[in-house]
């Protein structure tokens, strides 16, 4: 009789513990889904009033175009697009994408170095990601192997090379992608070096 009563007490206590665990697990799952939902619906940077800025110095002309997420989706789609911010996986890593076009109208060659470009935004100074860094980021984030190859192909096609020399009369076009814990609005400054010993090209944006 005593053993049966003790068993019933133990069984009842175990059931209470199981119910508590179930309630806590359900709450944690709901919180995680809510967080993911907030991440997916997080606001992206809107297109500024002047998304295209052109600066000319000496015989070199540079045009920088900010690419917002709707324009990136329209151009590359969603599933195989490596330039969009994945808010559900990296809530604090926003992608900021620009398309840079450099035209050398002079007789002297113009050197371009990707690592010397810089974005100042949200109290941070960031260098752009190069092709290798972006491809590595894709390999780490994407679980579907079928998406990695087309994303890497787009990165290699559109992202600017680490360095290039523009001969007289030539042109270079490609993407500058910056990544960091960046806000949705504010004042931004993109700096690209000019000829050695001369002023840099500066592009200002108000997001």
Distance between CA atoms of residues 9 and 23, nearest Å: 21
Q: What is the mean pLDDT of the chain?
A: 85
Domain count, the chain: 2
Residues 32 and 48 reside in one and the same domain: no
Residues 33 and 62 reside in one and the same domain: no
Residues 188 and 109 reside in one and the same domain: yes
Query: Band of the pLDDT at 35, cuts 50, 70, 90?
Result: very low
pTM above 0.85, yes or no: no
Q: In terms of residue numbers, what domain contains 27?
A: 1-41
Q: Return the percentage of the chain with pLDDT > 70, whole number.
A: 78
Residues 13 and 101 reside in one and the same domain: no
Burial class (CB in 10 A: 0-12, 13-18, 19+), 133: middle
Residues 51 and 143 reside in one and the same domain: yes
Residues 116 and 147 reside in one and the same domain: yes
Query: Band of the pLDDT at 161, cuts 50, 70, 90?
Result: very high
The predicted model gives 105-122 an average pLDDT of 97
pLDDT of residue 7: 47
pLDDT digits (tens, 9 = 90+) for 84-109: 998 776 567 899 999 999 999 999 99
Residues 14 and 68 reside in one and the same domain: no
Residues 8 and 74 reside in one and the same domain: no
- Please report, for the domain that includes residue 160, its CATH number: 2.60.40.1240
For the residues of 170-204, what is the DSSP string, one character each?
-EEEEEEEEEES--SSSEEEEEE--STTSPPEEEE
Residues 111 and 147 reside in one and the same domain: yes
Residues 148 and 116 reside in one and the same domain: yes
For the residues of 51-94, what is the DSSP string, one character each?
-EEEEEETTEEEEEEEE-HHHHHHHH-STT-TTS--TTT-TT-E
Residues 1 and 99 reside in one and the same domain: no
Query: Band of the pLDDT at 168, cuts 50, 70, 90?
Result: very high
Residues 183 and 93 reside in one and the same domain: yes
Q: Which of 32-46, 54-68, 91-105, 192-206 has the lowest mean pLDDT?
A: 32-46
pLDDT digits (tens, 9 = 90+) for 14-31: 556 666 655 455 444 444
């Amino acid at each position: 009789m005593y053993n049966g009563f003790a068993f019933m007490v133990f069984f009842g206590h175990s059931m209470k513990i199981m119910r508590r665990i179930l309630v806590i697990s359900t709450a944690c799952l709901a919180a995680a889904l809510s967080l993911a939902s907030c991440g997916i619906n997080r606001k992206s940077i809107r297109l500024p009033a002047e998304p295209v800025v052109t600066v000319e110095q000496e015989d070199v002309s540079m045009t920088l175009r900010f690419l917002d997420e709707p324009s990136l989706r329209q151009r590359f789609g969603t599933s195989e697009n490596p330039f969009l911010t994945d808010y559900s996986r990296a809530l604090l890593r926003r992608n900021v994408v620009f398309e840079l076009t450099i035209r050398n109208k002079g007789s002297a060659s113009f050197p371009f170095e990707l690592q010397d470009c810089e974005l100042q935004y949200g109290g941070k100074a960031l260098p752009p990601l190069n092709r290798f860094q972006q491809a590595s980021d894709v390999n780490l984030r994407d679980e579907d192997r079928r998406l990695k190859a087309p994303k890497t192909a787009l990165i290699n096609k559109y992202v600017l090379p680490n360095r290039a020399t523009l001969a007289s009369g030539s042109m270079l076009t490609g993407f500058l992608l910056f990544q960091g814990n960046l806000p949705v609005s504010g004042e931004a400054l993109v700096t690209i070096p000019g000829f050695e010993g001369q002023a840099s090209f500066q592009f200002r944006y108000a997001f």
